[in-house]
Structure 1
Amino acid sequence: MINSITLKGVATYDPTDGVLIDNLKKVNFLYGTNGCGKTTLSNFLQESANPKFMNCKVSWKDEQPITTLVYNKAFREHNFGKGNINGIFTLGQATTDEIKVIEEKQEELKKLKDEGTKIKDTLKVQIDKKNKVEKEFTEECWKKIYKKYEKEFKDAFVGSMKSGELFKTRFLKEFSSNTANLESIELLREKAKTIFGEVPQKIIPINDFSYENILFIEKDSIWNKIIVGKADVDIAKLIQKLNINDWVNEGRNYIEEDETCPFCQQQTITEDFRNQLESFFDEVYVNDLKKIKDLKQEYNNSNENIINELNSIETEHKNLKGSKLDINKFSAYLKTLISQNTTNNELLNSKIKEPSRKIELVSLKEQLDLIKKLIDTANQEIKKHNEIVENFISEKNKLIQEIWKFLVEEFRVDITKYNSNITGLDSGISKLEANRTLKLEAYKALKSEITKLSKNVTSIQPTVDEINKLLKAYGFLNFKIVPATEDGFYQIQREDGEIAETTLSEGEITFITFLYYLQLAKGGLDENTVNDDRILVIDDPISSLDSNVLFVVSTLIKEILKEVRNDIGSIKQVILLTHNIYFHKEASFEGINRGKGEKNQYYILRKVNSVTKSYSYLDKNPISSSYELLWNEIKDYEKNSGITVQNAMRRVIENYFSILGNKRDETLLSKFPNPQEKEIFRSLLSWINEGSHTLPDDLYVELPDQSIETYLKVFKEIFLYTHNIGHYNMMMGIEENEDIY
């Protein structure tokens, strides 16, 4: 069954707000004038997949769509715009026993469906109840636990703070698996102050360095050795007497191949002199000098490497947050070390230049020892720190578990109650789902059995007989329905045997089309669909019909509506749309034989500013009589147009004051006491006549003109001055002491 219909962005239905027709029942009447959107509604229900209805929607009961049969102009054109007419299969040719079996099976099927629906409804109630329990518990967890302890234990809630559902899930998991010790809230708070906060990071230990080689070089005896030439050479006495070893050694580099002395520039360099110099600066001298140079190079390289490494350590730990190195002392010691190294480097250079000099290097041991001690101390602190970091992670995890343990114990009663409720609900839901599955399987099997039984007894001939019977009963004697030569089809045949394809009147086509539709509503286009549930949507079935046939159609519809209200047969819902007041009154009349079941639902479609609006009247029929309807148009003028109000006023005056005859207007005019009021009345007469005589007498619903209130006041005064104000108040629904103007 259809619960509601939404029409939006098509024809006269607004693309933004649209129209919602909701609270639909088994029987529904929609009244509206031509052009207000009734056919658009029926077309949508007939072909909802059409792209032009992409913004429209049908809401189904239990979200279960069923077959919808629509009677409208498109139905007439589709089924009676060609020679042959599709046959309708019914059970009319079956034997009494066969029909009884099928009917019993259908009753059993209906019972299964009702039972399945009840199970589904119960299942939905249980699921909703479970969802409610879960929602309430989720909100309690969030408010009573998270919000209460958020500030002090926030770190323990990481990973479950984005939503109440996440927090509840974590809470239940901790309840079932947490094995931590139960600590007091005071202890947990104290530990949280220490552990929760900024997480300490590990520090990389400072690289150790070795400087034994430097100290070894510093202690070498070469630095105190006087390195001079050989003493038993002739020139040795002079060189030693003058103490010019280093000067002569330096000068050797300037002796060329010729005999010119680099010192006195005389021709004194003989071969013998050369030999004496070579003998004086013998191999011992050369080896000592080489050793000095090699040791200096090694010393400088070692110091340079250490100083570079120490500089890197200084730079890193100046910027390292939480450094354990005493950077101030370290920098001071390093500065002194660099200075001492510079001094030693100068001494080494002088030794190389003057090997005969004794030098004493400044020992770097003290500074290097001090620096190494700082590094060793820092590394010890770093080791302790890193151990704390590793232990911190463990301690933090331990604290988090202890906090959750405290929380689940504090709310153990609530959790136990929740788990008990959910377990019970889950058990019930599982049983209901299993039961529903069994019902569905039984329903499908039984429906399949009914379909097979129906195939053996269905025929199109009962439909032929039923339509012809109705045609004859209601005076249509010049044609009838006959089976076509092609199996499964009908034809319309004249009395003389001629096939009538284009010679039927509009009224005849309308009537026979509707009879065909009613048979289709009770049967199916094939054997498999005879017993399917269906919804009827009937859009103005009385066009081109005279009043007698209109009464017949309304009578046939009322019989269907009675069965629908009493849940008899396969028709589950009817939506009837019309613009004809008389037909609306006849079809909706229930009388004392309406039967049981829910009441009809009534709606009016109005076009306001060329946009369709829907008005629901629930089970109160707004179309009671033409005269009452005219007063309703006046009373509800704010929902209607100026044109409609003009028409309503004219017809009320014509009907109610018809006793005054041809001089009605003059008589009424004479009742107004002064010329000004007479002119207003003349204006009213001119206004209502101008806006009404070119329109039909049915209900039209548009937007009111700005001058309506002025003329409504004059309209009321007509009844006041003619002493008929009581009738006016009655029709307008005004109490004795009430005045709407």
Structure 2
Amino acid sequence: MINKVDLPADRFENPYLENLKAKNFIFGKNGTGKTSISHAILKQYNDQFDIHLFEGFNSVVGDNHILDAISLGTKNASVQPLIEATQKELVEINKDLEPLDDQGTNTYSKLQHIKEQVKQQEKSLDDCYIKSAKKIKNEHQKLVNNFNYNKNCFIKDIQLAHKLTTDEFKVQTSLLNQKILGKVNEVHFPTIEPSNYLQTVNKILEAKPIKLALINFRSKEDQEWARKGLFLHKHSDGEYEQTCSFCGSPLSSERIEELNSYFSDEVKELEIRINNVQEQLKQLKKSISNIMLLDENSFYSKFKQQVTEFNLQVETAKTGYMNFLNKLSENIQTKKKDVFTHVDPINNNIVESLISFNELQQSHNTLLSLNTKYGNNLDESINNARIQLLGNQIAIQLDAFQYTRECQECCVKRETSPA
């Protein structure tokens, strides 16, 4: 309860109002200080009590002509002028947002103008989508896999847009047109250790059979002729003809013994070794000459360069081995003409430059494996190439239309449009 009120000293003789009760009535003529007392009470005790002052009906009643109503309360009455001022502003704003009868300009007319510009810009973009979709559908059907490709499809595919370089375009186009190939004809390389053949031939070249009889022949041809003649005159039971089949002269047992001694078993054994090696070399040269090259048409374009390089290695290897085997054959033939003649062995360096057939076989197997794996995944690769080429074509269409600039202008117009 309020017991005491401090009064303004500038207008009251007694600065205090004391001995107040629960209910107090203060009355007096106008100008005697009733209002000052009520304001003093409000100022001193407003933070402790809920105090309300009545200062005439104008302070609590407001007249709203627009709403055809009145507002009660001190707060409502105090804001009524603000409401009226705001309502006037709203009227002006509404006029600014309504169509004009004359040719003047307001926010409404500006908005309509910008809307028209945006509409034209959007129509221009829409024409771009339609024309671009039609061009891709008619001229690049393989890129879309859709006979009903339209502007909506094009808009959805804009996210794929990117330019390909000339080399990238060639690679992706080649991949898109790639057909699934059949099985590759494999190449098999002979198993050969050139150092073993060289060692075998050198042993023959270095062999020195002993002449057990002293017989002089006029030439190597005569010596070979006599050796063959001795064989032809021998019967199946081991006996020999008594008369020469060529000249009719008698063949003495002494002469046959001398010839057999000259052409001893050591010589025969050496000749057999020579014949065997010659046959091996012959078969080996045949197998090497039969080595086929890989067919480039059986490989996907991605591996054609590798196939070309591989075939070049094979050709080089075949040439090297054929030269090597011919060298062995020539030297051993020289030895065969006269087994008693010394022939220098072949230098071991001849095998160092030869390409390993084992390594070629491994390279061959790897290349075939990659080609087969690529073929198995070709559907996915072709689809990826289609997407890459479609993105490139979309980028070309958008650049021709200056799509980025048009979109930016459209966005600017929308942003500058009045709310």
What's the TM-score, normalizing by structure 1? Answer: 0.26
What's the TM-score, normalizing by structure 2? Answer: 0.42
Query: By percentage of residues, which structure has more strand?
Result: 1
